[in-house]
């Protein structure tokens, strides 16, 4: 089976600038699959993790911009296969609809994928089951 290749994060950084953590995040991620190049670009920054199966990518766009913030998983051709925000609201019967929610990070902890979010000024994480395309319970992070 073909896998994602040449996965990269890129950003134009002038090393003389004083920058925040957000400033140094990439604006673009790219990868190749079956010889074709794919990209996700966002001027409000992108955080991405190539999943362990090398066929999917977890993405957060605009991690510091509530209006443009997105959290999702794409397949090897860039198609969204899991919209984390929508699944989160559906799972919780929309009880968080209208609340301040922003996804801020994504990474593995002990071989499990987590998306991190701020909900009404409290930090939480969601474990993601990438096999069954489901999310776990909301866990407060301290």
| Three-class SS state of 89 | helix
Distance CA 116, CA 109 (A): 12
* Average pLDDT in the chain: 89
* CB-based contact 70:61 (threshold 8 Å): yes
Q: Give the pLDDT score at 112.
A: 95
pLDDT one-digit tens code per residue, 33-88 = 999 999 999 999 999 999 999 999 999 999 999 999 999 999 999 999 999 999 98
Give the mean pLDDT of 101-122. Answer: 94
pTM assigned to the model: 0.88
């Amino acid at each position: 089976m073909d896998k994602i290749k040449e996965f990269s994060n890129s950003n134009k950084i002038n090393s003389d600038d004083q920058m925040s953590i957000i400033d140094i995040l990439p604006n673009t991620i790219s990868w190749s699959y079956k010889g074709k190049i794919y990209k996700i670009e966002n001027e409000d920054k992108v955080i991405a993790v190539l999943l362990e199966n090398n066929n999917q990518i977890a993405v957060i766009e605009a991690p510091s911009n509530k209006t443009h913030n997105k959290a999702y998983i794409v397949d090897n051709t860039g198609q969204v296969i899991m919209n984390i925000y929508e699944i989160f609201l559906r799972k919780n019967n929309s009880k968080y609809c209208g609340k301040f929610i922003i996804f801020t990070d994504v990474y593995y902890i002990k071989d499990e994928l987590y998306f991190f979010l701020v909900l009404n000024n409290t930090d939480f994480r969601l474990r993601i089951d990438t096999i069954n395309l489901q999310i776990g319970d909301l866990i407060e992070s301290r």
